[in-house]
Structure 1
């Protein structure tokens, strides 16, 4: 390469690029477009028809046409039935059969006599029709002659008065003119009246059907469908007929009264109605109760608005049917909250827990009764259990030991009320609760071995979230597990022992659990309770664990409650609550007491009780030296004098271990030693507050002098 060649300067930066080749297949402007798939005409027609049929306007139009057409047809049926009943003895025969089916012989005879009288009167009317032409002709002749004579008489009087002989025929001619004008008017009106008559009749049929509710429920306006129709015998019988039970349907069709004899009178029951249904032979109560949802839908109700149970009579189902939407209304505050002067009596009182489905107050006795309440999480279990404890705490003689294995403060307001309050979900808290239950067993045994015959103050142990204790895996130094469902479980054994003998000496235990299984709620533990209550549960098997087989077989259905909507609604089995004869369970909508109200109640309760120091764990060490005089002064409080009987009860409530077995002699000995002995006032022995304070002052003064010396 020469030097001149190397100095050649390029006049362009990049080498020339050849233009791209035109590809008609990849050019978006010239590329052939995709041909859409051809839809057959019948498919397009079907889609169009489906769109038209399912359109809301079409459905609304169909409902309107069906509704008003049903009104006309139903009205025609009603009028036809009325006409037939009015012209025949069918009504009397129907009522006679109903009375016979009900076993009311006197009423059946009365309807039979009425039917006989109706037939006799009808026969007489028909016999009178045979002579009707003769009597009508005779009446016509007599009427014509009488009318003519009367008109001539009037005309004669007019002729005399007017001195005009032509006036004799004036009344007759006037009558003829009136008849002529009447014919003219009728001729003019007859055409329009003949045209309007069918429409007026059509309107009358429509109005009759509308008032009788002849249209199907789905064709009614939305507001009427949602409201729910009143429950009538015909609605109940129709709902039973359409349950899908072939023998029942055939029996209802074969009944001459169309099934009306199956029903008892429908009575008002709270926010609904109640009726007993006596099933015909071949139909069982279990078949009807198994179709509760379908029966509710046939009655235009939701499933939770219909409650079925087995009545005491054979082959009889008792149905309670709520007014539509009534169970979603609040029931009002608890009497414990709104009555500042309310009191409680452990022995004879009943706690106002809520209202039953009839709207009556549901009162529950807690005297010497173990309790179990269970349900799914966050359905009101703790609030329902706490409401009972808050009422019972108004009795100062009741001692509470509480273990809250949730530990979020649901029971914290019982500080100063309960002697023991353990809060927390850990294994250490389970150990403390187990030791609390075992101390309850020791206290029970001490009372059982007491030979003095004294009446012991009530001791109530409450364990909330007990499934945590049953599921705890902690093991003690003796290799025995604290939790579990086996016979070696310390907590299970303590609960079992209290269930066996605790009530005899006023030691009871209440447990609250959630989502019960055989692992977290042993069979022996749940069956040892006198009161078993359940909120909403997920399955029927859980409901049987909670309440037992008999209540579920008889219609109790906590698993049919609505989770999240029926909070605080409990199904209660066992004693303690009044049940209807033959009913093993009752549904109660409990009063809800929120945290602020519970705290306010606790403050009120503490003012009525002597000061109680709440321990956060069970003291398993030896008892400390007890200052009897100071304890007596504490329980007397600010009252000038207190009966010795009340002082003993308060001392036992304050420290059962030290004072549970005290008698009057023990109290008198302690007071006499301090120079503050009891004395009589108004015929009863009392303890004086002034004497106690003087004795304490003298004792403290002597102690100070000794120390100075």
Structure 2
């Protein structure tokens, strides 16, 4: 024992040293080294309540869990299940697909309601009224009335048709009964061998009907059982296509990374998800596009060009334009896929910025001041890229169309206001309807005719007759005045008033071309004038609400240089305005909404591009604001000191008989002995439009009949004899009462 005593303190000191190091290293509290380990409690000792790892009081030995513990565990488990990600996804999935079914039912019900009632008409009336389109309101109200009448007629036909159907059923039953009776008689009168020959075809028919009934009885049960599920599937498909699910039920889209900027990646992803079989096949085969032109900023949007794979055409992509726009987070009107004329197989894609085609258009540049030049063009709007667009007048003509309230008049009025700010320009308007669109321009117009009756239609035809002769006369004058000039210039127009530029508008021109009496002649005259007018300073503007092949002759459309299609109802109207095949080529105005895109037109010929979406300027005139009258007054001031085109002097009495004689002898003394009375009137109108433009056949007869030179019929045509008119003129001038010397008509 004595040997071991000195070593104990050393061991204790080492232990203390180690603990001091641990305390210094860990910053812990002092440890009692002398306290012994606690002894385990005796087996029979009482212990306090114990706790579970979850913090709940553990039941004593032999006892079950308490009620509070069970409820807490149940609540904790329920909360875990409800808040689990899989539960949330399952709930969204159920809600989304349930919403598709309910939403599809609502969509179909709304379609049925719109088809059976005037709900669509009422919405359009409210939209037109909010936009201040009074004429559109009246037109839609008229359509609603016609719809009600047609619906009433269908219902009455159904009511009267039920007795007829019942009567037909009774007659059919009687005929069938008679046939069966005849068959029974034949069977009774025939012997065994002959009976089989008689009834063999009938028995075959009976067996066929029996087989058919068996098949129907077998199929009917499963079909009837599947019918509700097929109906649910159809409703689900409609709802899914229309996206009727609420936003919170939509999938998280973990793999969807669509961007607002349509870069190369976004465009490829949009093309892959068009639902085109050839495109999907090419993608699976590893197709990698060749970018002819990378995505670059162009105006108010983005432009790119890429070569399409084999089997995929631009026409196919245009057929999926709505899906393409959706994939690019755009409206259909904001996406324009076309094929360049010099790069077949290449997709030329322009995507507008979101919302760039809405909002206000800048004010018209000539609203506050300035003048215009017919030979340089006038500002008419801004392009989809935000660039100003000018309307060419010299060597140009226009076709403007679209449904009512889409903004046609805004473009035409802006074009005319710009034209009248050139003091040399003469303007005429023939409106085959009663409206007030052109009334504010009247002080600066040379002629304004309004109405859709035969009198106004005839006046428009007379204007075309005069233009036909005028283009011929201008061609001769241009050759004399211009020398080597191939077309009219401003210098020539200033030198000779007879060569002043002229703009002629034919609004609601479908009334003219579809007229039973004058339609064919109007078509022929319009084509003749358009082919010759471009070089001599005559601009024609055709405006229509019904651009179809029947209402607008195809040759008129073909010879039109500038075409503007506002919102149209279908591809027929679109191609009637812009040309055959334009809809399939992606140049279509069917995506324009008349309620949202008022004043926006898809144009051809306005810019160097194959097409251009143009938003026309709006020069306002209503009860509160009048921006047109100041422009017209400024145009009148610019015109002061400018000599008008030659016409009969005011108050001067025209010599009708002498003018007729001059027309008959225009071709010289060796000319034809007779001339058609219609041609005489046309030439008179060309010589003196103010005096003779409104002349009819009765006016010509009234002048010539007192002199014994009235028109007469020859070979079915009314003609005028040149010799009779010459004799009448000589007799009149030789009469002392006239006070005029004898005139030699030759």
Q: Normalization by structure 1: what TM-score?
A: 0.51
Q: Which moved more, 1:445-454 or 1:351-360?
A: 445-454
- Give the CA deviation at 1:657: 5.6
Secondary structure of the structure 2 residue equivalent to 1:391? helix
* 2:588 is aligned with 1:557: yes
Residues 462-502 of structure 1: CA distance to partner in whole angstroms, max 9, x if unpaired?
111111222334xxxxxxx22x2x3xx2x223212211212
- Give the CA deviation at 1:355: 1.4
Show the counterpart of 2:317: 288
CA distance in 2 between counterparts of 1:571 and 1:623 reads 49
Secondary structure of the structure 2 residue equivalent to 1:600? helix
CA distance in 1 between counterparts of 2:577 and 2:318 reads 20
- Give the CA deviation at 1:428: 1.4
Equivalent residue for 1:304, pick from 324, 330, 333 = 333
Secondary structure of the structure 2 residue equivalent to 1:549? coil
Secondary structure of the structure 2 residue equivalent to 1:433? helix
Secondary structure of the structure 1 residue equivalent to 2:475? helix
- Give the CA deviation at 1:358: 1.2
- Give the CA deviation at 1:384: 0.9
* 2:438 is aligned with 1:395: no
CA distance in 2 between counterparts of 1:657 and 1:290 reads 54
Tell whether the 8 Å contact from 2:423 to 2:642 is kept in structure 1 after alignment: no
Equivalent residue for 2:612, pick from 582, 586, 594 = 586
User: Structure 1 pair 248/179, CA: closer, same or farther in 2 (3 Å)?
Assistant: farther
CA distance in 1 between counterparts of 2:24 and 2:308 reads 67
- Give the CA deviation at 1:354: 1.2
Tell whether the 8 Å contact from 2:364 to 2:617 is kept in structure 1 after alignment: yes
Equivalent residue for 1:240, pick from 271, 281, 296 = 271
User: Structure 1 pair 313/497, CA: closer, same or farther in 2 (3 Å)?
Assistant: closer
Q: Which moved more, 1:316-325 or 1:382-391?
A: 316-325
- Give the CA deviation at 1:394: 0.9
Secondary structure of the structure 2 residue equivalent to 1:266? strand
Secondary structure of the structure 1 residue equivalent to 2:533? helix
Where in structure 2 are the equivalents of 1:182-261 lying within 5 Å?
A: 229-255=260-286, 259=288
- Give the CA deviation at 1:658: 7.6
CA distance in 2 between counterparts of 1:183 and 1:280 reads 75
Secondary structure of the structure 1 residue equivalent to 2:527? helix
Show the counterpart of 2:578: 547
Secondary structure of the structure 1 residue equivalent to 2:325? helix
* 2:493 is aligned with 1:438: no
* 2:541 is aligned with 1:514: no
User: Structure 1 pair 244/506, CA: closer, same or farther in 2 (3 Å)?
Assistant: same
Show the counterpart of 1:461: 504
Tell whether the 8 Å contact from 2:546 to 2:573 is kept in structure 1 after alignment: yes
> Any stretches of 5+ residues in structure 2 without a counterpart?
1-17, 30-242, 483-491, 493-498, 656-684, 691-746
CA distance in 2 between counterparts of 1:464 and 1:369 reads 17
User: Structure 1 pair 254/333, CA: closer, same or farther in 2 (3 Å)?
Assistant: same
Show the counterpart of 1:340: 369
User: Structure 1 pair 409/505, CA: closer, same or farther in 2 (3 Å)?
Assistant: same
Where in structure 2 are the equivalents of 1:115-134 lying within 5 Å?
A: none
Show the counterpart of 1:415: 442
Secondary structure of the structure 1 residue equivalent to 2:351? strand
- Give the CA deviation at 1:396: 0.7
* 2:361 is aligned with 1:331: yes
- Give the CA deviation at 1:350: 2.8
- Give the CA deviation at 1:621: 13
CA distance in 2 between counterparts of 1:351 and 1:591 reads 11
Show the counterpart of 2:351: 321
CA distance in 1 between counterparts of 2:528 and 2:635 reads 31
Show the counterpart of 2:528: 497
CA distance in 2 between counterparts of 1:404 and 1:222 reads 56
- Give the CA deviation at 1:546: 0.9
Tell whether the 8 Å contact from 1:372 to 1:529 is kept in structure 2 after alignment: yes
* 2:413 is aligned with 1:370: no
Secondary structure of the structure 2 residue equivalent to 1:383? helix
User: Structure 1 pair 449/245, CA: closer, same or farther in 2 (3 Å)?
Assistant: same
Tell whether the 8 Å contact from 1:262 to 1:279 is kept in structure 2 after alignment: no
User: Structure 1 pair 222/301, CA: closer, same or farther in 2 (3 Å)?
Assistant: farther
CA distance in 1 between counterparts of 2:460 and 2:689 reads 23
- Give the CA deviation at 1:622: 12
Equivalent residue for 2:603, pick from 567, 572, 581 = 572
Tell whether the 8 Å contact from 2:406 to 2:566 is kept in structure 1 after alignment: yes
Q: Normalization by structure 2: what TM-score?
A: 0.49
Show the counterpart of 1:600: 630
Secondary structure of the structure 1 residue equivalent to 2:468? helix
Show the counterpart of 2:115: none
Tell whether the 8 Å contact from 2:469 to 2:686 is kept in structure 1 after alignment: no
Secondary structure of the structure 2 residue equivalent to 1:401? strand
Secondary structure of the structure 1 residue equivalent to 2:443? coil
Tell whether the 8 Å contact from 1:405 to 1:430 is kept in structure 2 after alignment: yes
Show the counterpart of 1:64: none
- Give the CA deviation at 1:368: 1.7
Tell whether the 8 Å contact from 2:289 to 2:309 is kept in structure 1 after alignment: no
- Give the CA deviation at 1:180: 3.8
Where in structure 2 are the equivalents of 1:620-699 lying within 5 Å?
A: 624=653
Query: What is the aligned length?
Result: 407
User: Structure 1 pair 610/291, CA: closer, same or farther in 2 (3 Å)?
Assistant: same
Residues 292-342 of structure 1: CA distance to partner in whole angstroms, max 9, x if unpaired?
0111112222222212111343422122222323322222222122x412x
- Give the CA deviation at 1:233: 3.0
User: Structure 1 pair 439/270, CA: closer, same or farther in 2 (3 Å)?
Assistant: same
Tell whether the 8 Å contact from 1:515 to 1:537 is kept in structure 2 after alignment: no
Tell whether the 8 Å contact from 2:601 to 2:615 is kept in structure 1 after alignment: yes
Secondary structure of the structure 2 residue equivalent to 1:505? coil
CA distance in 2 between counterparts of 1:370 and 1:422 reads 20
CA distance in 2 between counterparts of 1:599 and 1:367 reads 25
Tell whether the 8 Å contact from 2:274 to 2:323 is kept in structure 1 after alignment: yes
Show the counterpart of 2:298: 269
